[in-house]
Structure 1
Amino acid sequence: MLEYLTSLNDHNLPYPDTIHPIAVHFVIAMVLFAFFCDVVGYFTGKTHLFEVSWWNMCVATISIFVAIILGQFEAGLATPYDLAKPVLNIHTLIGWSLSGIIAAITAWRYVIRSRNPQKLSIYYLGAGLLLILVVGVQVYLGDELVWVYGLHTVPVVEALKEGTLR
């Protein structure tokens, strides 16, 4: 059993495939759904959706740190080549920034919820929209790392091991 934990497979990982995307997609879904609930609740007056949004943001705030830790671990094993490094660096920077942004927006939401759980500020919705845009950029960069640069894909890992890719 120990040999499975200490050796890397064809994806350059100690486990069958990447876990970071799974954790990240969970965070993305929570943030998007929270914003959707806020917008629908704001414009329809169905304020019970604000509670759904609140709990989604709480879970997203915790989950993003799990996603980042997994991402850092897998990025460390990726051995990115020169062309992929700038994209990976920006993706990493935005990921860490998003952890702070999501935590700050969740804290803001806590204050709003404490004062009046039936009301939501238009400024908060604006911040939510900006969050969605930053998440969209982050998703684009993550997709680029996999689909354009092929990090943790078998052909790229083999090319790196053979030295044909720098």
Structure 2
Amino acid sequence: MLEHLLPPLNDHNLPWMDTIHPIVVHFVIAMALISVLFDFIGVVTGRRALFEVSWWNLLFATSAIFVAIMFGQVEAGLANPYGDARNILNIHSTIGWSLAGVLSVLTGWRYVLRAKDPLSLPLVFLGADSLLAALVVVQVFLGDKLIWVYGLHTVKVVEAMRAGLV
């Protein structure tokens, strides 16, 4: 009915040149993990600059994850996952939204902690940081599996799906 209003899908089964989600999400991964690492190093060394770098990385990771989720949801909807890829994609999506919540809560919490004392973090916050890092690692593993094992949005897999082979 409204299909004529949508752009045609290319050989990656996308309306744009290539997947955008992995590009944006790599910024989130790097910034979140650097934030956690610098929190721990900052606590050990007491250097203010490390806490500043950690704070800004956490803030930008929180902003960027919503862009990554937006593109991820669109691209997941166009992926036509098959077999176990469906379950992995569902778990990946759920953890992605959970990470957005975790990052948002940590950023708000960190804002309050930073206003009180910019040179210290409580152990419970470092525990939450560790949970964030663990979730990011699991998410990376699942995302890698969707691309490197199941080949979602790769030309060969899209061709096989279109030919009814998958």
Whether the TM-score (by the shorter chain) exceeds 0.5 is yes
Kindly indicate whether residue 156 of structure 2 is the aligned counterpart of residue 155 of structure 1: yes
| Shift of residue 51, structure 1, vs aligned partner | 1.4
Q: Counterpart of 1:145?
A: 146
Deviations 1:95-151 (A, max 9, x none): 001000010011110111111112111221111111100100000000000000110
Question: When the two structures are aligned, how many residues end up with a matched partner?
Answer: 162
Aligned mates of 2:132, 2:68 — CA distance in 1: 17
Aligned sequence identity (%): 59
3-state SS of paired residue (1:81): coil
Q: Counterpart of 2:30?
A: 29
The code of the aligned residue for 2:46 comes to: G
Aligned mates of 1:158, 1:116 — CA distance in 2: 56
| Shift of residue 45, structure 1, vs aligned partner | 1.5
Q: Counterpart of 1:112?
A: 113
3-state SS of paired residue (1:119): coil
**Could you tell me whether the CA contact under 8 Å between 2:21 and 2:75 is conserved in 1?**
yes
**Could you tell me whether the CA contact under 8 Å between 1:30 and 1:57 is conserved in 2?**
yes
| Shift of residue 83, structure 1, vs aligned partner | 2.6
Q: Counterpart of 1:52?
A: 53
Q: Counterpart of 1:98?
A: 99
- Runs (4 or more) in structure 1 with deviation over 3 Å come to none
The code of the aligned residue for 2:98 comes to: S
The code of the aligned residue for 2:148 comes to: W
Kindly indicate whether residue 128 of structure 2 is the aligned counterpart of residue 127 of structure 1: yes
The code of the aligned residue for 2:63 comes to: I
Gap runs ≥5 in structure 1: none
| Shift of residue 18, structure 1, vs aligned partner | 0.6
Gap runs ≥5 in structure 2: none
**Could you tell me whether the CA contact under 8 Å between 1:50 and 1:117 is conserved in 2?**
yes
**Could you tell me whether the CA contact under 8 Å between 2:46 and 2:120 is conserved in 1?**
no
**Could you tell me whether the CA contact under 8 Å between 1:47 and 1:119 is conserved in 2?**
no
The code of the aligned residue for 1:55 comes to: W
3-state SS of paired residue (1:6): coil
Q: Counterpart of 1:9?
A: 10
| Shift of residue 48, structure 1, vs aligned partner | 2.3
Aligned mates of 2:117, 2:30 — CA distance in 1: 26
3-state SS of paired residue (2:63): helix
